[in-house]
Amino acid sequence: DAKTTQPPSMDCAEGRAANLPCNHSTISGNEYVYWYRQIHSQGPQYIIHGLKNNETNEMASLIITEDRKSSTLILPHATLRDTAVYYCIVGAIQGAQKLVFGQGTRLTINP
Amino acid sequence: DAGITQSPRHKVTETGTPVTLRCHQTENHRYMYWYRQDPGHGLRLIHYSYGVKDTDKGEVSDGYSVSRSKTEDFLLTLESATSSQTSVYFCAISGTDRETQYFGPGTRLLVL
């Protein structure tokens, strides 16, 4: 079973920041938080990951709470092409990276 | 985009027939994975490989076998396909940093 809890769906207006929450209250000290997204029926796409510090890349920002029990993925200026299912995953980097996908959040960007 | 291809992209087969799906990478990555995705569900790991001839089971491995005779190819075989194996199958790869997985385009399999 997935170790994360995400809202099943969210809406956001185009051009606004999309903030996607994720709860991972049972995260272990050596586990990272990963975010992937899946656009329509394509293969999932890596977005960002972090351990305890906030992270930013060209796609998004990841804010992890100090107790690491929750995080937020931020898409700063959402576009219609950001409409997708977003998966929050926790896992350790030990041997193969066996990702456990939950149901994710279906994010719809509205014009 | 990472160089991952899957073949075939679509396949229709009958119950009881063997089926082999191929994943090919041009990135020379060590780790390769097979997932399946059913409607309304996230991806579930079937098998993975951590090197040539080194494979292990994932969450839903029953009814599937895999082989990796070369770094670039990872084969998933359904020895005797069943209707419950109708699904979309995704291959993924990751490098030695294991921080990021890159996914292929998927194979849609329909077992009648």
- What is the predicted pLDDT for the residue at B2? 67
Give tens-digit pLDDT for B15-67.
999 999 999 999 999 999 999 999 877 899 999 999 999 999 999 999 999 99
pLDDT band with cut points at 50, 70 and 90 for residue A98: confident
Mean pLDDT of chain A: 93
Q: Is the pLDDT of residue B98 over 70?
A: no
pLDDT band with cut points at 50, 70 and 90 for residue B100: confident
Chain A residues in contact with B3 by the CB 8 A cut-off are: none
| Chain B nearest C-alpha distance from A21 (Å) | 17
Q: Cβ contacts of residue B34 below 8 Å, gap of 6+? A: B21, B23, B45, B46, B47, B48, B58, B64, B66, B74, B76, B89, B90, B91
Find the closest chain A residue to B48 by CA distance.
A96
Looking at A14-23, A68-77, A84-93, which range is the least confident one? A84-93
**SS3 track for A30-93:** CEEEEEEEECCCCCCEEEEEECCCCEECCCCEEEECCCCCEEEEEECCCCHHHCEEEEEEEEEC
Is residue A17 less than 8 Å (CB to CB) from chain B? no
Yes or no, beta carbons of B56 and A42 under 8 Å apart = no
- What is the predicted pLDDT for the residue at B1? 57
Taking residues A44-66, what's their average pLDDT?
94
| Chain A nearest C-alpha distance from B98 (Å) | 6
Retrieve residue A76's tokens: 């700063």
Yes or no, beta carbons of B48 and A44 under 8 Å apart = no
- What is the predicted pLDDT for the residue at B41? 78
- Top pLDDT among A61 and A100 is at A61
Yes or no, beta carbons of A96 and B59 under 8 Å apart = no
Taking residues A2-16, what's their average pLDDT?
93
The percentage of chain B sitting over the pLDDT mark of 90, rounded to a whole number, equals: 88
- What is the predicted pLDDT for the residue at A2? 63
- What is the predicted pLDDT for the residue at A96? 75
- What is the predicted pLDDT for the residue at A1? 60
Chain A interface mutation, best of B27, B46, B98, highest count of A Cβ atoms under 10 Å: B98
| Chain B nearest C-alpha distance from A94 (Å) | 8
Is residue A87 less than 8 Å (CB to CB) from chain B? yes
Chain B residues in contact with A44 by the CB 8 A cut-off are: 43, 90, 92, 101, 103
Asked whether the beta carbons of B74 and B66 are under 8 A apart, the reply is yes
Yes or no, beta carbons of B103 and A43 under 8 Å apart = yes
